[in-house]
Every structure is written in C-alpha cells, then in structure tokens.
C-alpha cells in the first residue's frame, strides 16, 4: 500500500482525491498536513487518517508517508514539489504543476537526483472515455483527423477564490485551458507547431478569464475556447474524413453529464455510443500512480509531458499579445 500524505486541506483533496485514495486497492492516506493544526486534525478525523501535522515540513520529514499529494495554490506547486522530492517522497501534484514550462526543468532535476516519481494530476488521462478516444483515432475509426474542437467554461467571480487571484496563479488558462490541450495531445500523440489566440483579462482581478485559440498540429487543426465568466459548458469533438467523435462530458464526468462518447459515421446516419458508468477516474489515477511507484510498467503523466503541455499554454499567452501565429 502506497502511504499518502495530503499537503493542505484544499477542496479538491477533501471532495475528490482523498476519497479516491481511500477507495484505491493499493494506496491509503496516512497523514494530512495544514498550516492550521486544528484543520489538519479535523480533516484527518473525518477520513479516519491516523496522523495530522500542523506544518508541511513536519509531514515531509515523517516516515509515516511514502508519497505526497499536493493541491496547494498553483504558485506554490514547484516549491513544494521540490521540497517533497528532496525529502524522498514521490509526488502527485495538481495541475498545472507549473506556470512556466522552463520551471519544470527544476522538477525534472529533483526527480532524477532523488529517484522518485513526480507526476502532474491529469485525471483525464486515466479515464476510460479518453483512452477509448485514443484507441478509436489510432484505429482510423474517423478516417483522417482534420479538426479538433473544444470548449470548457464556467462562471466564477468570487474575489476570494484562488482562480481569481493572480498572485496565486489564477486564471482560466492555468485552471481549465490545460484540459483541451492535454486531451488532444494525449489522444493524437501529436504536438502543436504554432498557435493564434485572443485572451481577455478581468479588469479587477487581472487574471485571464477568456481565451479563443487556434492551433496548427501539422496534420490537423484545433480550435477551442475557455472561460471563467461564461455559462457552464464542456465539449470536445474530433472530426475526420470518415466520421467524428464527440465526448459529451469530457473533463468533469458525472458532474456535467454522463461519461460517454458518440462515434458518428460520415453520412451521419449511424452512430455508436460508448458509456463508462462509474469509471472513477480519480481512483484510476491513484492506482496507476501507485503501480508506477512500485516499478510496474504503467503510463503516468511524465514531467516531460507536462513541460510540453505547458509550452502550449505559454505559447497561447504569447500569441495573445500579437497579431498572427506564434511558434510553440
């Protein structure tokens, strides 16, 4: 059993990841840390976790854990991932693991010198619906892929929410722009060559709240938009010469709709629906990560993959400042 320590009492940990770890067959939460010892103890009691720490450093120094899950504000991800790795702990860090692609080099160095596993927590790459999309594309189910189209939006103007605080790494691109990019790269195995983009920032928060992006992958194009101040919507479509694949609830399965995809033929007179009820993508993420730590040959999100995805996001920011194409 891989023993996890949870570094903070953040909402995503409380509601999604801690339950997934406790549900996993090969992992368990043995410690929770917070800068507020009472909060750590309260959350530990809620999940019957034996150890609670009033500081992050204290937990990292403890022999009660083998790995750390980090759901801190984005601006703190690099710092605490390196500290955890230097303490000899494996690390599963929430996305985005960094706000700049170049910063990931320091994480790669920390991983290599400490011989630990460090992975960005892109739960979608472990979801069977996305693995099915990848299989269908590789099988040629829609012929030649010509265009990928995506949308991910929600509405949040809470000034106290970290997504609206620039100093904490807030913004639409770090929060949700990473999902259309990672899923397209994951399923196609291709990388973007250049991008065009328009980005809007909130006048009060200073964070990016909307981006419309066009990306050239060489053999196909991608267009998507993301926003943190629009009505809720999620959708991804992979359109080819012989048909198209539509992923109905691509990123928050079960919360925004069923975890399913529809494969439609060229004439639009026949379709197949693939459903994946109860797939528990967070549990799959945890179990795969634990297998990787144990030395099994499984696929996790590598830091090299994370760096490539962040290069895509970095290029979108740069493209937003100019008229025309920006090289990724």
Of 11, 39, 89, 95, the active-site residue reads: 95
Q: List the structure tokens of 129.
A: 């619906």
Could you give phi then psi for residue 70, rounded to 5 degrees?
-115, 105
CA dihedral 68, 295, 184, 328 (to 10 degrees): 80
Burial of 85 (0-12, 13-18, 19+ CB in 10 A): buried
User: What is the DSSP track for 244-275?
Assistant: EEEESS-SSTTTSS-SEEEEEETTSS-EEEEE
Decide: 134 and 220 in contact? Cβ < 8 Å.
no
96 preceded by a cis bond (ω within 30 of 0):
yes
> What length does the chain have?
328
User: Is residue 248 among the annotated active site residues?
Assistant: no
The DSSP secondary-structure symbol of 180 reads H
Catalytic residues: 95
């Amino acid at each position: 059993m891989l023993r996890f320590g949870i570094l903070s009492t953040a909402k995503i940990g409380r509601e999604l990841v801690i339950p997934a770890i406790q549900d996993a067959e090969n992992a368990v939460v043995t410690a929770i840390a917070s800068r507020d010892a009472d909060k750590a103890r309260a959350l530990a009691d809620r999940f019957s976790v034996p150890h609670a720490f009033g500081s992050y450093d204290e937990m990292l120094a403890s022999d009660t854990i083998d790995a750390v899950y980090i759901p801190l504000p984005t601006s703190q991800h690099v710092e605490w991932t390196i500290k955890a790795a230097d303490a000899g702990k494996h690390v599963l860090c929430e996305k985005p693991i960094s706000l700049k692609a170049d910063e990931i080099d320091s994480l790669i160095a920390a991983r290599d010198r400490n011989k630990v596993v460090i992975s960005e927590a892109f739960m979608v790459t472990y979801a069977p619906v996305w693995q099915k999309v990848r299989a269908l594309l590789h099988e040629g189910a829609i012929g030649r892929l010509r265009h990928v189209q995506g949308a991910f939006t929600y509405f949040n103007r809470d000034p106290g929410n970290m997504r609206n605080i620039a100093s904490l790494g807030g913004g639409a691109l770090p929060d949700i722009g990473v999902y259309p990019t990672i899923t397209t790269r994951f399923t196609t195995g291709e990388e973007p060559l250049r991008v065009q983009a328009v980005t809007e920032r909130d006048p009060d928060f200073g964070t990016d709240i909307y981006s419309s992006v066009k990306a050239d992958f060489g053999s196909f194009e991608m267009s998507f938009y993301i926003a943190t101040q629009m009505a809720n919507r999620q959708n991804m479509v992979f359109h080819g010469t012989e048909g198209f694949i539509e992923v109905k609830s691509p990123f928050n399965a079960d919360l925004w709709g069923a975890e399913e995809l529809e494969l439609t033929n060229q004439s639009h007179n026949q379709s197949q629906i693939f459903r994946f009820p109860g797939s528990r993508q967070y549990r799959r993420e945890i179990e795969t990560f634990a297998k990787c730590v144990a030395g099994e040959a499984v696929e996790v999100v590598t830091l090299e993959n994370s760096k490539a995805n962040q290069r895509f996001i970095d290029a979108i920011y740069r493209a937003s400042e100019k008229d025309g194409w920006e090289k990724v």
